[in-house]
Amino acid sequence: MANTIGKLYTLTTFGESHGTALGGIIDGCPSNVKIDFDFIQSELDRRKPGQSKIVTQRKEADEVKFLSGIFEGITTGTSIGFIIENGNQKSNDYDHLKDTFRPSHADFTYDQKYGNRDYRGGGRTSARETVNWVVAGAIAKQIIPEIKINAFVSSVGEISINKAYQDLDFNLIESNPVRCPDLEKASEMEEYILKIKKEGDTVGGTVTCVIQNVPIGLGEPVFDKLHAQLGKAMLSINAVKGFEYGGGFCASKMKGSEHNDLFNEDGTTKTNLSGGIQGGISNGMDIYFRVAFKPVATLLQKQDVLTNDGKIIEQQGKGRHDPCVVPRAVPIVEALAAMVLVDFTLMDKACR
Amino acid sequence: MANTIGKLYTLTTFGESHGTALGGIIDGCPSNVKIDFDFIQSELDRRKPGQSKIVTQRKEADEVKFLSGIFEGITTGTSIGFIIENGNQKSNDYDHLKDTFRPSHADFTYDQKYGNRDYRGGGRTSARETVNWVVAGAIAKQIIPEIKINAFVSSVGEISINKAYQDLDFNLIESNPVRCPDLEKASEMEEYILKIKKEGDTVGGTVTCVIQNVPIGLGEPVFDKLHAQLGKAMLSINAVKGFEYGGGFCASKMKGSEHNDLFNEDGTTKTNLSGGIQGGISNGMDIYFRVAFKPVATLLQKQDVLTNDGKIIEQQGKGRHDPCVVPRAVPIVEALAAMVLVDFTLMDKACR
Amino acid sequence: MANTIGKLYTLTTFGESHGTALGGIIDGCPSNVKIDFDFIQSELDRRKPGQSKIVTQRKEADEVKFLSGIFEGITTGTSIGFIIENGNQKSNDYDHLKDTFRPSHADFTYDQKYGNRDYRGGGRTSARETVNWVVAGAIAKQIIPEIKINAFVSSVGEISINKAYQDLDFNLIESNPVRCPDLEKASEMEEYILKIKKEGDTVGGTVTCVIQNVPIGLGEPVFDKLHAQLGKAMLSINAVKGFEYGGGFCASKMKGSEHNDLFNEDGTTKTNLSGGIQGGISNGMDIYFRVAFKPVATLLQKQDVLTNDGKIIEQQGKGRHDPCVVPRAVPIVEALAAMVLVDFTLMDKACR
Amino acid sequence: MANTIGKLYTLTTFGESHGTALGGIIDGCPSNVKIDFDFIQSELDRRKPGQSKIVTQRKEADEVKFLSGIFEGITTGTSIGFIIENGNQKSNDYDHLKDTFRPSHADFTYDQKYGNRDYRGGGRTSARETVNWVVAGAIAKQIIPEIKINAFVSSVGEISINKAYQDLDFNLIESNPVRCPDLEKASEMEEYILKIKKEGDTVGGTVTCVIQNVPIGLGEPVFDKLHAQLGKAMLSINAVKGFEYGGGFCASKMKGSEHNDLFNEDGTTKTNLSGGIQGGISNGMDIYFRVAFKPVATLLQKQDVLTNDGKIIEQQGKGRHDPCVVPRAVPIVEALAAMVLVDFTLMDKACR
């Protein structure tokens, strides 16, 4: 079940970057959820390539086709099958990948593990897979509409928002192609990405996600802690190298007397370095976490690659690639967070 | 199955800090593994309280009793049941916790979720649970003896090792109570912890783990990526707030041309910012990751706590607590890493 | 995961009888299996309606379209997505089902459980779902070509084969529309089914399955016994009411001295009332089991049905239905058996 | 997870017949269930050897010791660990099994699969394992007290109850050592078992289970049908060879017009050949099923056995064995049924 996420609200997926279609099966969606198809499409559009100058110029329609589980616009409680057909497949762009392994890609490891791979555009290892997640996440959001999930770009390279999330206006996230609610930083980031793109290079960044209005009690003790499942989900996204929540890595430098979140009489806390989770279970305060993305490995520069027969040759990256993934990663982070939260919401109903 | 970790090599656990016993069931351990019981005990001793002046002075025997699955010293392939009896239980130390919720503890969230909890010493939320993990990890290490797993303390508060792990001598890890192989830093850290302890305060830190001699091909695509499972496992440890592997959060600041690991002709790479994993699958290079621990929440200082009936009162922490968890966390990190690696090793045998 | 079967070789499915398409995702198929697509289609044809006079006259193309996981005819080890589009949908035939519950159908229970259902042709409860299983089974058979799986009709109503399976020629199974290798009984059964069909009635039957050339050691102790998983799989087929293997229900009437299978010196047994499985693990002898199917609930006669608003009215079944399901059930039984065997084959590789 | 049953209410077990202890971990038990420990013990006593002349004369205390998850008599929602120590271990009785494989036992298959086994008393393959199930079942019954589960012996050898279960008084089940509510048949059975015992032989039988007051809607579509999970659970019991529910194998001989259960206006049905389940989901009518047990394989007669080095020798069974398992199987069947029902009850809460 290496292609499944979740326990009660599960998504199982398939699909290669240049195959006929990608798709998935959502199992465990409660019945009687009225589906807003336009919302799902709008979420897909946020992830879609070709939205702006700072992302890849590939054109993909990214239209999802639901095949089951929704009857007359309302979920039936049975499994929801869906596909996204691959339209604009410039497979020829990828012929040079057949016999070579690009540095810091999954080409080499997949080849070693499986001995057979669809090399076109990365095949199954392509981040195109995340289109499936956005579909399942968009449905998840509709199951728990009261919970508010906002992700945004908090850094690109060395350029970083210096404000607390409480001081940001989430309404500004979608106002710029970087998806950064600090507009000054946003334009710095945009400029920097364009510069990097011109160089044929790429750059990393971080996405911060804030989840508000979470009921107390989501999460399980010991091995299915809420933050452990969030972390696992985020670490499943292509190019992610790190995850921290609440105080995060900074907390490791602090004293207990500085880090502890003192209570108010109503059970809320005066500070929230816990990040809304204590002992793996939500405490009703805002959940927030940060996800680190490495720079995209495919460069539109010359680079040494390894050939099938153990030679190092120079190769120029081709195709249409993102100079920086974080703007398009924002809806993906939200989608996974929504899936995890629905999973725990259902679990919580079961166990109480 | 919120008390189970793993898919083919699974550990299911039970136990409260002040109950009769903790224990677990290891399922999926291959047959015909000769068990070195002394090694298991030595791993438990590394985690044990009371080892040195910088950890809690509780005395616990922490002797594991195997009840099944090992016949005449050799595993039979059936489930391995074990218990660790709770000896030195000063439950009275914890009476003050019955009606109060300590800040940044799981007291409040467990009470809200379950409505009934064993409050003594944190009950199920206590890090005493990790004794079970060390048992399962010590067996896991014996299943894959060729893989070398070394964790160590890489920072305490602001004091941090500045060397690459390649420049450290792992043989020095156990030479000092902090478990830091940089001896100069180790004594700085030790001194600092003692100072913090005297203040009745606590401090956080980080543990770095290096895994060597990993075969190529461990890990699954998409949702069971090797680093995602390692991350989830680490985020299950009490007090962990962050996880990063390879380039980690630093990678988010880099350009692709800096971050990419160029190949040698034999498939190894010249650099290893990937951290030994590409596309979720091991590439044969060293795996390394870093885990951030917040400071222990229990202070031996006066602090405001919340009462059951919604009052804020001042309370003085009692009992015997660690001023800094990272030295004792080292064997726990290794244990979980070993379990994850065995799980993927078995999975890999299944799927090829 | 109520729409998933298997642990390492898993099939997750979706689809309603009269939706756009059915389909599934096969996860855990090893890489480098060369796929014989004609064989898959021929298995689908065995299940297909309209094959003969004794089965439903619905015409369905039942062509499977693979969307991923197979590259240039060979599996890649990643998930295999597939769909079967619904062609000939006479949905109007089913309008009368919107507000009524047919006796001994799942209409009532689905409506009570989910509150929303695709009533057309039974929706998700339709045996049309089994088309997905035949696809996954046909691939499973190609993973373990050395294991021979033969199912056949062993009884229809009161007409029953009286020979041991060893005295039957499995090559005759496909020689007649009933799929009964005892040709005399086959023609009796055929005649009887046609008579029943003329009456607008239906009739039950049994399918026997024989699995040969199974390696010793498949199956897990305690809760994943080989026969328990076979039983669960068979009990998942629509209309199945019973499962027995080896001596089965007859064994309950026997003495130990009659039932025990004495060994030969090579570890084979002189008799095989165990049905090839001892303690849940295959012993290398033939595995055989029998599956009981009730008569199809939809009659082309007048029958009392329950309406949505709690009235009993008389209704005449419409649509095209099977007078007896067992002939078409034969490939379904084989498909599920193949999936279970692959699952245990992979598990066995993992744990030894 | 071959030693785990259940999905939300799970039991994971360990233990060999002659090891230190057996035991298990119950995960997913809701919090705030007040536990009646006397009831648990009384259930264990029903399964216990030595209760009467017709069962094995081994003496085992079978006292369960709870180690966690229950605080001051009430469940806390965390995992419940328990052990049952093995007292009266006449291991010497089993020395003759070290190098021989008994016919129709799991000795041979375990040895082939694992290469190492605890041969004493069958080790992990012993039905002593079921003591764990009775513990988890006794707790399950307390979670769903409104559902009434009654199992009883319906046949021993050729002696069979000829009445419908509706004509039996379940209060008489415990009135006789056979656990057969038809007292005339009960004494016939008892006499027959004693006769068989005197011969050093054994005999099979069937257990019928009736579950009443089940809410409508338990069970999942497609692969986790209520009867499929009940069947899998029953087929996990040692010596079980068959399972049928509702009309069962008889249904396969019937016509649809005879078998269909016509509705009453309130949604109940006039007949109940469906056995309380339609399309895998409970319909509110009584659930009933029948389980076939083969005769115990260990005879207290001389029998040919296979030796480790491939010889056939004559051996006399030793030890204390049941001449007929069905009387002691009654509480085991009930326990597993209770676990399955709790699992689906929790699942149902999650998905609606």
Q: What are D281-292's pLDDT values in tens digits?
A: 999 999 999 999
Put simply, the answer to whether A256 touches B306 (Cβ < 8 Å) is no
Closest by alpha carbon to D296, among C258, B117, B174, C271?
Answer: C258
How close does chain D come to A279, measured CA to CA in Å? 13
Substitution target from B128, B225, B252, B349 for chain A, most A beta carbons within 10 A:
B252
Give the pLDDT score at B89: 60
Burial grade of D95 (CB within 10 A; 0-12, 13-18, 19 or more): exposed
Closest by alpha carbon to C284, among C258, C254, C257, C264?
Answer: C264
pLDDT exceeds 90 at position D79: yes
Stretches where chain B sits below pLDDT 70 are 1, 88-93, 352
Helices H, strands E: what count in chain D? 8, 17
Put simply, the answer to whether A351 touches D221 (Cβ < 8 Å) is no
- Please, what is the angle between helix A37-47 and helix A130-143, to 10°? 140
Closest by alpha carbon to B17, among B299, B325, B307, B319?
Answer: B319
- Average pLDDT in chain D: 94
Half-sphere exposure of D125 (CA within 13 A, CB side): 28
Closest by alpha carbon to D279, among D292, D253, D264, D261?
Answer: D261
Residue D157 forms contact with C (CB below 8 Å):
yes
Give the pLDDT score at D90: 59
Q: What are D224-277's pLDDT values in tens digits?
A: 999 999 999 999 999 999 999 999 999 999 999 999 999 999 999 999 999 999
Q: What are C167-200's pLDDT values in tens digits?
A: 999 999 999 999 999 999 999 999 999 999 999 9
Question: B197-232 burial by CB neighbour count: b if 16+ within 10 A, else e?
Answer: bebbbbbbbbbbbbbbebebbbbbbbbbbbbbbbbb
Of B158, B263, B305, the CB nearest to A103: B263
Reported ipTM: the value is 0.96
Put simply, the answer to whether B79 touches D116 (Cβ < 8 Å) is no
Cβ count near C126 (within 10 Å): 21
Angstrom CA distances, C73 to A19, A22, A118, D272, stand at: 13, 18, 11, 50
Q: D215: which DSSP letter?
A: P
Q: Which residues of C touch D206 (CB under 8 A)?
A: 249, 252
Residue B70 forms contact with D (CB below 8 Å):
no
Residue B295 forms contact with D (CB below 8 Å):
no
Q: Which domains does chain C have, with CATH numbers?
A: 4-351 (3.60.150.10)
The letter for the amino acid at A45 is: D
Torsion sign over Cα D284, D286, D292, D296: positive
Question: C18-35 burial by CB neighbour count: b if 16+ within 10 A, else e?
Answer: bbbbbbbbbbbbbbebeb
Q: How far apart are CA D46 and CA D52, in angstroms?
A: 11
Put simply, the answer to whether C253 touches D113 (Cβ < 8 Å) is no
Check: CB of residue A80 under 8 Å from CB of residue A73. no
Check: CB of residue C317 under 8 Å from CB of residue C228. no
How close does chain C come to B65, measured CA to CA in Å? 23
What's the average model confidence in pLDDT over A187-198?
Answer: 96
Give the pLDDT score at C74: 96
How close does chain A come to D28, measured CA to CA in Å? 7
Give the pLDDT score at D95: 73
Of C5, C109, C202, the CB nearest to D281: C109
Of A232, A257, A261, the CB nearest to B299: A257
Beta strands A240-245; B240-245: pairing state: antiparallel
Give the pLDDT score at B88: 62
Give the pLDDT score at D225: 97
Angstrom CA distances, D35 to A307, B19, D16, D71, stand at: 66, 17, 27, 10
Joined tokens for residue C225: 């016994």
Give the pLDDT score at B53: 82
Joined tokens for residue A224: 């299915």
Q: How far apart are CA D168 and CA D182, in angstroms?
A: 7
Provide φ and ψ at C139, rounded to 5°: -75, -40
Q: Which residues of D touch A352 (CB under 8 A)?
A: 30-31
Provide φ and ψ at D74, rounded to 5°: -125, 135
Give the pLDDT score at B93: 65
The more confident residue out of C318 and D69 is D69
% of residues, chain A, pLDDT over 90: 83
Dihedral Cα A221, A224, A225, A231, nearest 10 deg:
170
Give the pLDDT score at A252: 98
pLDDT exceeds 70 at position A168: yes
Residue C231 forms contact with D (CB below 8 Å):
yes
Out of B86-100, B208-222, D44-58, D304-318, the most confident range is B208-222
Q: How far apart are CA B131 and CA D277, in angstroms?
A: 45
Residues with Cβ within 8 Å of D38's Cβ and at least 6 positions away in sequence, in order, are: none
Q: How far apart are CA A343 and CA A29, in angstroms?
A: 10
Tell how far CA D117 is from the center of its chain: 24
> HEC states along C178-216?
CCCCCHHHHHHHHHHHHHHHHCCCCECEEEEEEEECCCC
Closest by alpha carbon to A351, among B25, C2, D348?
Answer: D348
Check: CB of residue A333 under 8 Å from CB of residue A243. no
Put simply, the answer to whether B27 touches D12 (Cβ < 8 Å) is yes
pLDDT exceeds 70 at position C91: no
Q: How far apart are CA D214 and CA C46, in angstroms?
A: 39
Check: CB of residue D110 under 8 Å from CB of residue C221. yes
Question: Predicted confidence band at D88 (pLDDT cuts at 50, 70, 90)?
Answer: low
Question: Predicted confidence band at D122 (pLDDT cuts at 50, 70, 90)?
Answer: confident
Name the residue with tokens 């049309």: C128
Check: CB of residue A96 under 8 Å from CB of residue A86. no
Question: Predicted confidence band at C60 (pLDDT cuts at 50, 70, 90)?
Answer: confident
How many residues would you count in chain B? 352
Put simply, the answer to whether D31 touches A352 (Cβ < 8 Å) is yes
Q: What are A75-121's pLDDT values in tens digits?
A: 999 999 999 999 866 556 677 778 899 999 999 999 999 998 888 88
Check: CB of residue B275 under 8 Å from CB of residue B287. yes
Q: Which chains touch A (3 or more CB pairs under 8 A)?
A: B, C, D
Closest by alpha carbon to C135, among C69, C193, C200, C198?
Answer: C69
Q: What are C286-307's pLDDT values in tens digits?
A: 999 999 999 999 898 899 999 9
Q: Which residues of B touch D19 (CB under 8 A)?
A: 67-68
Closest by alpha carbon to A332, among A124, A68, A153, A143?
Answer: A153
pLDDT exceeds 90 at position A240: yes
Tell how far CA C319 is from the center of its chain: 22
Substitution target from B5, B14, B83 for chain D, most D beta carbons within 10 A:
B14
Residues with Cβ within 8 Å of A281's Cβ and at least 6 positions away in sequence, in order, are: A216, A217, A218, A219, A220, A221, A225, A226, B106, B109, B110, B112, B113
Beta-ladder partners of C318: none
> HEC states along C35-95?
CCHHHHHHHHHHHCCCCCCCCCCCCCCCCEEECCCEECCEECCCCEEEEEECCCCCHHHHH
Q: Which residues of D touch C310 (CB under 8 A)?
A: 265-267
pLDDT exceeds 70 at position D92: no
Check: CB of residue B314 under 8 Å from CB of residue A271. no
Q: How far apart are CA A183 and CA A175, in angstroms?
A: 9
